[in-house]
Amino acid sequence: MKKYKNLCLKLTPQRLAILEYLEGNTDHPSASDIYNAVCKRFPTMSFATVYNTLKALKGKASIQELTIDPDKKRFDPNTVHHHHLICTECRKIIDIETEFELDLPELQKHGFEITGNHIDFYGVCPECAGLALQEYGGQLH
C-alpha cells in the first residue's frame, strides 16, 4: 500500500484490488479482463471504476495502454521500455526486453528528432502452432 501512495489517487479497496491485480501481471489484460477478475472480490464494483482507475494510472505513466489488439485495448503495468511479441491467432502478448539498434536514414526522418522506438513482432505461439499441427494431422504445408 505504501508504494501506491505516491500515485496521488484515492486508494479505495476496489482500486487497491485493481493495482494488486496489475502488479507483475504479464498477461497484458484488457479492462474487461481486469473487471472480471476483480469483481469476484467486489461484486458491486462497476466497470467504470476499472476504466477510471486505468485512465488515472495511464495519466500518471504507471501503466501503458496497448493498441496492438484491434478488438480491445490492453494494459501493461511494465512501464520500462520494451517491445512485444504477439500471436496472430490467440492475441497472446509476450514482453521482449531486448534493445534493438535501429538507424533511420535522414531522408526518412522528415526532420524528426528520434527519441525512441517500439517494435511489435507477430507470429504464432507454441500453443496455437500445436493446434494447427493437430488440425493438419501433424503436418503443416
CA atoms within 13 A on the CB side of 38: 27
pLDDT for 141 equals 43
- The DSSP-derived string for 6-35 is GG-----HHHHHHHHHHTT--S--BHHHHH
- Positive or negative, the CA dihedral 1, 20, 66, 55 is negative
Query: What is the phi-psi region of residue 111: left when phi exceeds 0, alpha when psi lies from -120 to 50, beta otherwise?
Result: left
Give pTM, 2 decimals.
0.79
Taken in order of first residue, the domains within the chain and their CATH numbers are 1-79 (1.10.10.10), 80-141 (3.30.1490.190)
Query: What is the phi-psi region of residue 28: left when phi exceeds 0, alpha when psi lies from -120 to 50, beta otherwise?
Result: left
pLDDT for 78 equals 93
For the segment 10-31, the average pLDDT, to the nearest whole number, is: 93
pLDDT for 29 equals 96
Place of cell 488515472: 56
pLDDT of 30-66, one tens digit each?
999 999 999 999 999 999 999 999 999 999 889 999 9
95 pLDDT band (50/70/90 cuts)?
A: very high
Please provide the average confidence, as pLDDT, over all residues in the chain: 88
Q: 77: which DSSP letter?
A: -
